[in-house]
Structure 1
């Protein structure tokens, strides 16, 4: 029976839990997929689709059906003295505190750890309950272990990522025939990747199935069996398919041709294969990072400045004509020509007919649908005279202003050009990023293509495990609040999680990723160091290895910190410390260690 005296607390928990999960999708999940998008292994839309499917299915199908009441043992339930009402209030505050920090951090494009965010909220509640720090477990079995992981996760992840990339670099990328060497070794790579990802699923990503409790022999058999099957499938289907692309240059082959398997060995390429850029079978993974691209970008910047200067007067005239109310234009001064009357009035009482029109006036209006910073161009809002409440203006507000604004808000995220955003900034900043990228080696583009599939495979599996496990950061406290509110009883150390709460959290993660995930991706990826499929694959696999080991040891590590350490290590494998954006990494390291007290 519901505890109706606290209906308002349950309602607040539902709202802020949604915001928390929304922030996880826009922040943590976007951070995880930033390497795949930045290396061009997948487009931004493909990443959104893959992450949405994997995160939601991971949360609903194999998400934790039982969650720990106090995550990571930060505080003791005895601190609440068996008072269910106080406990309900405390966990509502946990949800509000975590969601507030996640919202602020995401809005400011700060990649933070969602695990440490909820832990920080629990620390704050533990201090508030007793009025001092005695309610918090500061020892190794509590907060100290979490603090230790701040330094452990990046170092271990960086070590694994560096080893993986260096082996790939000297064994494949720098060999005399990197494409041939990569094709020969690809089944081995698929075997290793499948083994690591299967282990990650077992130890971290399937709490409801209790796979981590399987006997050791069964676990080892499942890992090697799955890896062997994946490796065999890669030989039968993936290898002939990708061979047509990288060796024969068959630009007519499509994704569904992979199901033809061995029949593709007899497929003949078109006569004009390898003859021009227009018939390229493999995309250029270093697009925008060649020397000639730098010159072209500089010339384009000069053209943009000239075009902006030429169009500025026309833009002002257009907005004056569209947005100023008739009768409020200033009268021309005596002796002035009529052509000078188009100047903006000095101080009209009400210059713009609507706030949306005033906001639109501040935005640039290029001819194409994408702004210079990579964001899609906002809709053309319509102006009107008088109050928006007037019946004859309601249609205009709804049809031409409100509905276009809603559509733009919901769809602009997936239409954002992330690569353009990552390289956008002042001329000084862009020059500095170009200099950082110039210290990173370019490898054979066809050889890089081989690792794009492994990177996508790693990203999807990690996303599935993330949805199954880390969704509890948002809905774990909510499940405790729901349990107390629905039963009016003090919670136990473990609380059941209804499926509808898992779906609620999973849906919020997907919405956050699709509408605001671009914000985090714009400050990651190529803004930190030059990305390519081989580099991104090494980063993601190194982070997955760290998660596997940490899960076995019971250490609460952060995905954000793991991928950050892996990115630094792989960047340093270029042999030049100048290939790393140290300023950007310092900022990420600072904010990712923030906790919401």
Structure 2
């Protein structure tokens, strides 16, 4: 009967746990996939689909191992003295503290670690519940706060090392050659081998208990891992190498994707007589032609200028949008805060004007909102109530589909005149640009590395979210405090994994649009090295039950690869400093939110 009275606490705790998982996807997963999208190796929609598949597979196969650290490794289960209501309230407050902080940061496009937010919030709740002495501050065989917070420096450093090693290998073997294209073609199976081996190793080494992989002998682990890795390499040598050889070496622009199944026969396929340039995408980060074309289209429609001339809720003052402030013709266009706000609003309105031209539910919703603005006066005015009734269905559609249709590259257009835009131009100038034909090959490899990174994130971070929820569910359903060795149900892991993917799909763009190219110059060869370095680091920490921030790993790998340009000026150290500051501040702020919330509820007056 007592636990029936606490059902509402469990419901609220479940909501916060799901919100924390949602924020995890919108923040950490978005940061992991920002490299691939910014490098133009995959589109945002392709990233969503791949993330959904590999995130869930990684979570279900190996995700349960880190759950025990979050659930039992920080606050000893014995501290609750088998008081299930207190344990339920403790983890509810922990989820609330982490979810609130990460949601605020994500809303303001601030990049923080959801892992460290949850860990810090649990520590704060522990202090409020049993005092500072009861919290496991030491190493505790890899389960205490000392081991977890050690990852604050260890994880980015390890990822930077792995990422730098992989990219330097690519740079020395391929990029530094007089004719790098053939070298990139013939060495590509090796990187498929690396990606396949790492992904397979993470499954079979101390792997899924559901499949009995955690009890397999060493010979089984080695044979399966190398078998899959070499199998993938052989398949790439048979099908991928002939395909890209015909495309980038022979410059056969008549080649289609289904020709890849012809395999070695493509070596005998004659190239067109007029083949001069390989038909591959342009992987340049900044493409002015795209910007100018988009600008001309939106100007002709009146989307930007019309919005700028309005003095309504959009907040543009004086009704003037300066073409000089767009920053394409002069470096010193943005000189004050007003110009900067006008510039960013103009970029946003260009994006919205483009969405209004599209077909489908989102295009209808954006046109509805644009054509039915709120009028003067308060919301309870009759004309505003009528407009609100018309706009509510459009609001719902936009909330569900806006992130799915977001164009990360278009969102970054028009910011070249800002202080950060000029700073990034200087950073990009120190990064050597490699031929598109070479980068095109690594765009395929980056898909593999991105999927591996997403698998690694599911294996590691889903345990952080599901750990507290599993403790709440066990305490509520059984009426007893969760035992230290309690298993996490598979269905809970699946629910959390899907929630993480949903957060990435619907709100991940808010982080991706600022994290894509704000640390260093990105390209497919660089991006694949970054993602592989981060994936290796995350998987290593996960195998030893250490919750580590995937965001910190990809950030460290990005810095390591950026330094491979040969100068420290190829990295935006101001952004690095802001990231480090936000990581450090997460610990006390999330801890205070969770601790204060727990203290208030635990010591509230009661009858």
Is TM (by shorter chain) over 0.5?
yes
Which is further off, 580-589 or 235-244? Answer: 235-244
- Could you tell me how far 1:525 is from its partner in structure 2? 2.5
Residue in structure 1 matching 2:452, options 434, 455, 461: 461
The one of 524, 532, 535 aligned to 1:541: 532
Q: Which residue of 2 aligns with 1:405?
A: 395
The 2-side partners of 1:16 and 1:437 are apart by 41
CA deviation string 1:443-483 (max 9, x = no partner): 12111111111111011122123224421222221111111
- Counterpart contact for 2:36–2:447, Cα < 8 Å: yes
How far has the Cα of 1:160 moved from its partner? 1.5
Q: How many residues align?
A: 543
Residue 281 of structure 2, aligned match among 272, 280, 283: 283
Shift of the 165–318 alpha-carbon distance from structure 1 to 2, 3 Å rule, reads: closer
Structure 2 unmatched runs, 5+: 313-344, 357-361, 592-607
TM-score of the superposition, structure 2-length normalised?
0.80
Aligned partner of 1:496 in structure 2 is 487
Match of 2:476 among 466, 470, 485: 485
Please give the alpha-carbon distance, in whole angstroms, between the structure 2 residues aligned to 1:58 and 1:115: 17
Q: Measure how far apart 1:62 and its partner are.
A: 5.6
1:182-197 aligned within 5 A: 182-197=184-199
Tell me the residue number matched to 1:260: 262
Change (3 A) 1:168 1:492: same
Within 5 Å, give how 1:142-541 maps onto structure 2. Answer: 142-203=144-205, 206=208, 208-209=210-211, 211-270=213-272, 272-274=274-276, 281-286=279-284, 288=286, 293=288, 364=349, 368-369=353-354, 378-379=366-367, 380-382=370-372, 397-398=388-389, 400-422=390-412, 425=415, 426-541=417-532
Supply the distance in 2 between the matched residues of 1:200 and 1:50 (Cα, whole angstroms). Answer: 18
Q: Matched residues in 2 for 1:162 and 1:462: separation?
A: 16
2: CA distance between counterparts of 1:553 and 1:195?
19
- Cα separation, partners in 2 of 1:70 and 1:410, compared to 1, 3 Å: closer
| 2:3 is aligned with 1:3 | yes
Q: Which residue of 2 aligns with 1:24?
A: 24
For residue 59 of structure 1, report the CA deviation from its aligned partner. 3.3
Deviations 1:216-241, CA, capped at 9 Å, x for gaps: 22211111111111111111111112
Which deviates more, 546-555 or 413-422?
A: 546-555
- 1:23 Cα deviation from its structure 2 partner: 0.3
- CA–CA separation in structure 2 for the residues paired with 1:70 and 1:554: 10
Please name the residue that 2:15 is paired with: 15
1:582 paired residue among 573, 584, 604: 573
How big is the shift at 1:151?
A: 1.3
Give the distance between the partners of 2:250 and 2:426, measured in 1 at CA. 35
Q: Give the corresponding residue for 2:74.
A: 74
- 8 Å CA contact retained: 2:84, 2:480: yes
Cα distance change, pair 555–311 in 1 and its aligned pair in 2 (3 A): closer
Higher mean Cα deviation, 200-209 or 8-17?
200-209
Where do 5+ consecutive residues of structure 1 fail to align? 321-359
Within 1, Cα distance between the matches of 2:443 and 2:488? Answer: 37
For 1:503-561, what per-residue CA distance to the aligned partner results, in whole angstroms no more than 9, with x for missing partners?
32222212211111011112213121110011111111112222344345554432211
Could you tell me whether the CA contact under 8 Å between 1:42 and 1:456 is conserved in 2? Answer: yes
Determine if contact 1:205/1:468 at 8 Å carries over to the other structure.
no
Q: Distance in 2 between matches of 1:66 and 1:546?
A: 15
Report if the CA contact (8 A) 2:192-2:236 is conserved. yes
Deviation of the 1:310 alpha carbon = 12
CA distance in 2 between counterparts of 1:316 and 1:418 reads: 22
1:222–1:90 distance in 2 versus 1, CA, 3 Å: same
Partner of 2:486: helix, strand, or coil? strand
Counterpart residue number, 1:115 = 115
Alpha carbons 1:33, 1:47 under 8 Å: kept = yes
Quick one: distance in 1 between partners of 2:67 and 2:304? 59
Alignment partner, residue 345 of structure 1: none
| Structure 2 counterpart of 1:347 | none
How many angstroms apart in 2 are the aligned matches of 1:574 and 1:268? 38
Shift in alpha-carbon separation, 1:381–1:306, aligned structure 2, 3 A: closer
Query: Separation in 2 of the partners of 1:42 and 1:307?
Result: 30
Q: Residues 562, 307 of structure 1: CA spacing in aligned structure 2 closer, same or farther, 3 A cutoff?
A: same
Q: Deviations over 1:330-380 (max 9, x none)?
A: xxxxxxxxxxxxxxxxxxxxxxxxxxxxxx999746894169xxx999432
- 1-structure distance, mates of 2:220, 2:173: 33
CA distance in 2, matches of 1:34, 1:315: 30
Residue 357 (structure 1) aligns with: none
Instruction: Identify if the C-alpha distance between structure 1 residues 488 and 256 changes in structure 2 by more than 3 Å, giving closer, same or farther.
Output: farther
CA distance in 1 between partners of 2:189 and 2:304 (Å): 56
**Residue 581 (structure 1) shift:** 0.7
**Alpha-carbon separation, structure 1, partners of 2:555 and 2:309:** 48
Q: Is the 8 A contact 1:66 1:494 kept in 2?
A: no
* Matched position secondary structure for 1:127: helix
Separation in structure 2 between the aligned mates of residue 205 and residue 526 of structure 1, nearest angstrom? 35
Q: Are the structure 2 counterparts of residues 69 and 535 from structure 1 closer, same or farther at C-alpha, using a change threshold of 3 Å?
A: closer
Deviates more, 1:530-539 or 1:540-549: 540-549
Counterpart-to-counterpart distance in 2, 1:319 and 1:20: 37
TM-score (norm 1): 0.81
Q: What is the alpha-carbon distance in structure 1 between the residues aligned to residue 414 and residue 479 of structure 2?
A: 54
Cα RMSD between the aligned structures?
A: 3.6
8 Å Cα contact 1:65-1:207 kept in structure 2: no
